[in-house]
Structure 1
């Protein structure tokens, strides 16, 4: 992993990216236009294209994984980098152009009251469109995790989120790398480690390339795998370095 000494700032924006050469430079430039004093770390998840070089040319620090680790593994790399270099705040932004960087200051500001802030679709006037079956699955997950976390959430699979110092330290210690672990299981870990979670409404754009899975069968499988991730999060033992006792 790259070990470049970062600028003396407090916000690290982590962009996990796999084969995103078409969009990653634009994402990096857009982030720096909104938060010019932030450091952008692109975790190139062993891409087979020019993702890393295009990110570096746009002004990012680049860490390349030795093999493809998935979003969870890439984000674990980002949290470890944050702790090593003393960043108290980490914001995750996807490399495909869906996350609107204009919301970054709002996400960071909301950390004054909570440990994790999710940028949530469907919480405001965002017209982001998903199929009916997938939206049902997402709503079911949101209801389940709202009960677990004792707070109202509408978009628990959003990867657009900001984390304060306590959450950064927890996830640098151990972060789930399995499918959906980086979103739903991470929120269960947050609850067990006594971290507070909230959301703010954001607008997201359609994917600039590729296509998410859709359809009834795909959504049923998606819901089942997500519930399994929640179950794993509830039964696993997770280190909670920032709290005296893990929440139950």
Structure 2
């Protein structure tokens, strides 16, 4: 049976990297037994991101105001739920997630039936591993996630992740706003969803600027720690 999959690409000022990503996606598709569509979420970009998406004939949600990464991703997940997709895969618009690695997430889901599959840089330790400072932060979130959920998720900040129909239903109702990846794992775990990691290769950002750099790593860690704590104690 063919499954419908939606690739959700949240974008804010990604005109430099998005053309290559969409070109690579076109060359990587189709995947046997999957009907795969692409949706770009333009989060009120000030560059030509919207035009790039239109010129590549992909589905587009053009947000009238900037919602941030969490709001942009949730918009795509709601679209996937409402259009009856079996699965949705978040893939960053900066080109860090090679489309050729998509099959690994689909294969992991097929083998495990996990509600959420995370593409992890740190299982095989191949490909781009991020900076030393960021790896320290990711190790901290791995520890914090174990404290709150009892689960070991090594790449909790990865934005390369697959959602099944149950995860889509839950995320459509609530999804964290700012830097949602670590916090959402606490929320999903407490809701009883199964989460698996699979090894993928990532590359360096192909253009644009990271939002984390704008605020500073220490601010990011403090803010996400507080958010994870409140997700751990909030009612589901």
Pairwise same-fold verdict (TM > 0.5): yes
Q: Counterpart of 1:10 in 2: which secondary structure?
A: strand
Alignment pair present for 1:168 and 2:168 = yes
Tell me how far apart the structure 2 counterparts of residues 75 and 129 of structure 1 sit (CA, whole Å): 23
Q: How many residues align?
A: 227
Q: Which structure has more RCO (C-alpha within 8 Å, separation ≥ 6)?
A: 2
- Give CA deviations for 1:48-80 in whole Å, capped at 9, x if unaligned: 122112112223100011101111001111111
* 1:28–1:59 contact (8 Å) kept in structure 2: no
Alignment partner, residue 151 of structure 1: 151
Q: CA deviation at 1:206?
A: 0.8
Alignment partner, residue 124 of structure 1: 124
Alignment partner, residue 199 of structure 1: 197
Tell me how far apart the structure 2 counterparts of residues 194 and 204 of structure 1 sit (CA, whole Å): 29
Tell me how far apart the structure 1 counterparts of residues 208 and 23 of structure 2 sit (CA, whole Å): 21
Alignment partner, residue 5 of structure 1: none
Out of 139-148 and 61-70, give the one that drifted further: 139-148
Q: CA deviation at 1:133?
A: 2.8
* 1:138–1:223 contact (8 Å) kept in structure 2: no
Alignment pair present for 1:29 and 2:23 = yes
Tell me how far apart the structure 1 counterparts of residues 127 and 3 of structure 2 sit (CA, whole Å): 34
Pick closer, same or farther for the CA change 1:120–1:67 going to 2, 3 Å.
same
Q: CA deviation at 1:211?
A: 4.7
* 1:32–1:38 contact (8 Å) kept in structure 2: no
* 1:115–1:196 contact (8 Å) kept in structure 2: yes
Tell me how far apart the structure 2 counterparts of residues 54 and 210 of structure 1 sit (CA, whole Å): 14
* 1:176–1:186 contact (8 Å) kept in structure 2: yes
| Aligned partner of 1:67 among 61, 65, 68 | 65
Q: Counterpart of 1:38 in 2: which secondary structure?
A: strand
Alignment pair present for 1:58 and 2:48 = no
Unaligned runs of 5+ in 2: none
Pick closer, same or farther for the CA change 1:147–1:198 going to 2, 3 Å.
farther
- Give CA deviations for 1:11-46 in whole Å, capped at 9, x if unaligned: 000000011111212212222322334110000001
Trace 1:1-248 onto structure 2 (pairs within 5 A).
10-36=4-30, 37-112=35-110, 113=112, 114-177=114-177, 179-180=178-179, 182-212=180-210, 218-238=216-236
* 1:18–1:45 contact (8 Å) kept in structure 2: yes
Q: CA deviation at 1:203?
A: 1.1
Q: Counterpart of 2:81 in 1: which secondary structure?
A: helix
Unaligned runs of 5+ in 1: 1-7, 239-248
Q: CA deviation at 1:223?
A: 1.9
Tell me how far apart the structure 1 counterparts of residues 231 and 13 of structure 2 sit (CA, whole Å): 29
Out of 225-234 and 65-74, give the one that drifted further: 225-234
